Amino acid sequence: MPRVPCYGDQWNILPPHSASVDELRACALYEYARECEDFVDLVDQHRLAPDDTKHSEHLGFFGFTHFDFLQAVSPALASLVRAMGDKASLAKPWSKLPAGIRTKIVAACSASVRLATPDELEGSYCWQFCGEMPAMDTMFHIGPECDDAAGDDPRRLLCLVLDTRATATQIKADIGRLFDKSIAPLLRGKRGRGASGKEPLWAALRSLAVMRLLSTRGLAVAQTVAQAAGCRDLLPEKEKDSTRYQRIDHARRTFRTLFPGLFIHEAFQSPPQMLSDAAYSSHGSRGRGRKRRR
């Protein structure tokens, strides 16, 4: 059985401040994917045997490759792996990937306007597990309730159906009218040019960095390590214990949000735990500094 990865020494994962929102998004997806041992193994197996289907037969699946399993659980991760080509692996941290590979991954994650693929639609709602498709009026509804909650990914998935009998000029004009009538009023002037979309991604990476820092160290040692690396703000000396625990919980929630397919059957079986969360829990950092309730 392969050794379970430990990322206690791979906590310094924040890209430079000049990084684009697309690079931050790709980095967050990549680093959080590395927290799932199943993903790490699947990507390695896909690289070594991209056409192998024998492994799935004992599970009752026939003709499924390792990549097919990735695609079913996370279309976004599958797109990232496809961009890596024959170099596909989650073994190295983002900063250690060759620049050319990082560029390909960023390009795969950064399309601003495109049609949703059937795999993305199926993966988002997991119709293969849930039976009937959702009613059409519940799919990708655009309304005031789409307001961003704190820390949520501000992007929204739109499914556009085009009448291909129309000319390109007609379709372009109709898309513009749809935006002006139904989408622009929801933005209310506070997003768009004035919102980079970076902060939720920075927060997700900072939370994961804190979890990794504390996964193999006590608080005092972790603070010293962060300070020596010029990252004192990750674990400030006067930070409340509750704030630190909130960052750990935020990393857990982000993992769940990025890979909802891992939690489909959690009512019947326990979903996989983040590797760094498992190390953090076993290290005993969870209770340090917390006052016992009477």
Tell me: the pLDDT tens digits for 112-153? 444 455 555 655 555 455 555 544 444 444 444 454 444 455
Residue 211: what pLDDT? Answer: 97
109 and 28, same structural domain? yes
Question: 122-151 burial by CB neighbour count: b if 16+ within 10 A, else e?
Answer: ebbbeeeeeeeeeeeeeebeeeeeeeeeee
Mark whether 182 and 203 lie in a shared domain: no
Yes or no: say if 209 and 13 are a contact pair by the CB < 8 Å rule.
Answer: yes
27/109 same-domain check = yes
- Distance, in Å, from the CA atom of 250 to the CA atom of 47, rounded to the nearest integer, reads 31
Distances (CA, A) of 76 to 53, 199, 252, 259: 22, 20, 18, 9
Domain of residue 90 covers 21-113
Reported as a pLDDT band with limits 50, 70 and 90, residue 161 is low
Q: What is the mean pLDDT of the chain?
A: 79
Confidence of residue 28 (pLDDT cuts 50, 70, 90): very high
Q: Is residue 119 in some structural domain?
A: no
Distance CA 28, CA 22 (A): 10
Asked if residue 222 belongs to a domain, the reply is: yes
What is the distance between the alpha carbons of residues 144 and 201, in angstroms, rounded to a whole number?
23
221 and 141 within one domain? no
Question: Which range is least confidently modeled, 8-17, 95-104, 181-190, 198-207?
Answer: 181-190
Report the range out of 37-41, 109-113, 175-179, 258-262 with the highest average pLDDT.
37-41
Query: Do 15 and 22 touch, CB atoms closer than 8 A?
Result: no
Structure token digits, residue 78: 């599958």
- C-alpha triplet 283, 247, 148: angle, nearest 5°: 150
Residue that has been written with the tokens 């680093």 in this structure: 31
The residue that leads in pLDDT, 26 or 184, is 26
The reply to whether 137 falls in a domain is yes
Per-residue confidence (pLDDT) for residue 180, from 0 to 100: 75
Last residue of a domain, one of 190, 213, 239: 190
The answer to whether the beta carbons of residues 26 and 95 sit under 8 Å apart is no
Domain boundary among 75, 90, 113: 113
Q: Per the domain annotation, does 42 fall within a domain?
A: yes
- Judgement on whether residues 32 and 66 belong to the same structural domain of the protein: yes
Q: How far apart are CA 226 and CA 215, in angstroms?
A: 13
In a shared domain, residues 160 and 218: no
Q: Is residue 269 part of a domain?
A: yes
How long is the chain? Answer: 294
| 8 inside domain | no
Q: Where are the beta strands (DSSP E) in 204-258?
A: none
Q: Which tokens belong to 193?
A: 């040019």
Note whether 174 and 205 are same-domain residues.
no
pTM exceeds 0.85 = no
Number of domains forming the structure of the chain: 3
Q: 200: which DSSP letter?
A: H
Statement to judge: residues 218 and 234 lie in one domain = yes
Which of 63-72, 87-96, 117-126, 147-156 has the weakest average pLDDT? 147-156
Query: What tokens does 244 get?
Result: 């630190």
Task: Check if the beta carbon of residue 191 is closer than 8 Å to that of residue 154.
Answer: yes
CA dihedral for 180, 186, 189, 193, sign (positive or negative): negative
103 and 35 fall within a common domain: yes
Residue 108 within any structural domain of the chain: yes
Tell which of 190, 217, 241 closes a domain: 190
HSE of 33, CA atoms in CB hemisphere, 13 A: 29
User: How far is Cα of residue 55 from the mean position of the Cα atoms in its chain?
Assistant: 26
- My answer on whether 59 and 139 are in the same domain is no
CA distance 211 to 280: 7
pLDDT on residue 133: 54
Are 77 and 139 in the same domain? no
In a domain, 93, yes or no: yes
- Which residue is listed with tokens 């625990």? 245
Overall average pLDDT of the 80-107 stretch? 94
> Do 30 and 100 belong to one domain?
yes
